[in-house]
Amino acid sequence: MALFSELSIPQLNITYKQPLGLYINNEYVASSDQAQIETVNPANGKSITSFYAASAADVDKAVAAAREAYESVWSKTSAEERGVLLSRLGKLIAENKELLAAIETLDSGKPYFTNALADIDQICQLTTYYAGGADKYSKGQMIPINHDKYAYTVKAPYGVVAQVIPWNYPLAMASWKMQGALAAGNTIVIKPAENTSLSLLYFAQLFDQAGFPPGVVNVVPGYGSVTGHSLSSHKDVDKIAFTGSTAVGQQVMALAATSNLKAVTLECGGKSPAVVFEDANLDEAVKWTAAGIFYNSGQNCTANSRLLVQESVYDEFLAKFVKQAQEQWSFGKNGCDPFDESCTVGPVISKTQFDRIQGYINHGKVQEKLSLKQLEAPDATDGYFIAPTIFTEVPQDSKLTQEEIFGPVAVLLKFKDYDEALALANGTNYGLASAVFTEDIRKANHFARDIKAGTVWINSSNDEEVAVPFGGYKMSGLGRELGESGMDAYSQTKSVHVNISKL
């Protein structure tokens, strides 16, 4: 199999050369065992191409390349120079914005105009942020002890870090990890998801074009059971960062612990609540919460999939919410095509995920006999499209309330007062994000204090900022990304004691 394939995206009149090889030492190479993975367009179920899948031996090569680059070059590269390289990378991302977004849409099915382009805009902003932060957030502290002694701390990079990213935001989640790790002075071996590897494989060559030395960034697509397992258990990897399901996150943490006790950052599942009090601006609450569950076809770890609405305004909110969903969230005017400018709901990622989500919907309808409102289903299609679905008056112990569905499915619950709302909101194993809608500033701040979640949005939802730390409580993970925390996560504190007393 060739290392590149010419692919076409006729909706945008784009033809480009898609890399298919592993990216190691700034070169695309075949896997050692010639194993390949076929990737499918979720909008039509058709094969796009196949790319090489990394074996354990390939992971060893990538880690060795990252180690050599760290020890010989990158650890000696100044923070200022790392910032210059990231700045160049940011410009290249901007120059390739339309193509990168198009590859994301082709491979993941996310709507091009309303999702994919916005992802690349955030990546540009993120890269610029860490380019500026490389020589500012890596500073330690001087600590005077007494007349004859002082100490200082150094924020030192871990060295070689492994990163495993999910399929819902292939480039965005990669960039959340890579740019902060590079700014902090680490080298990287990163594994994209099996079904959305194309965009990161193309993206990899931009590091070479920006001037990053060989081995600083290595991309090893492959199966989780092989490539992911090898990275998690590798004894020459100093840290691993993972975004994905809680179950797999637990496996990553166990492998990290039993190999070399490498540091771990985990961003795992979520079942985020959005609490709407009776004094809220309902039109604003409806706008934000509809976007919070239907954007990216509900395939967001932070999706506000649980809508807790005060009983006095429940019926009014529900009517407005259904209307908002009908008017703003659709498969587009020209059939089910994520490249259609009017498309705001794309397909879910795969047949496996399609069947999983439909299983939850059928369970709610048949087993639990819950009331639901489902928007107009798509026309007959070979793609994996699921209509936005709204279950009403769902009990707290429902499977649909407690488990992460990861699709365009909202569940609505009623509550009487603040205490009940808080109990319901905190009543899951997850704690990634939350939202509250109220015009009462005291109530909003009480909620922000009392909710067990890593992110709280007041009168908005799912509007992350690259300068603000992000991460979860409870089973939603460990550690933080973005902001200064996005560099701290890839830094260790070294303490140095200096004795200046006479002998």
Contact 303, 293 (CB under 8 A): yes
Give the CB-side neighbour count of residue 100, counting CA atoms within 13 A.
Answer: 27
Give the span between the Cα atoms of 110 and 12, in whole angstroms.
15
Q: Would residue 474 be called left, alpha or beta, if left means φ above 0 and alpha means ψ between -120 and 50 degrees?
A: left
Q: Which of 467, 432, 455 is nearest to 176 (CA)?
A: 467
Give the position of tokens 């015009």: 439
267 flagged as catalytic: yes
Separation CA 384–CA 4 (nearest Å): 27
Amino acid at 425: A
Partnered with residue 264 across adjacent β-strands are 240
The residues facing 415 across adjacent strands are 310
Do 338 and 330 touch, CB atoms closer than 8 A?
Answer: no
Q: Which of 104, 194, 267, 481 is catalytic?
A: 267
Cα(409)–Cα(300) distance, rounded to whole angstroms?
12
Taking alpha carbons only, the member of 250, 95, 108 closest to residue 169 is 108
Distance of CA 199 to the CA centre of its chain: 14
Catalogue the active-site residues. Answer: 267
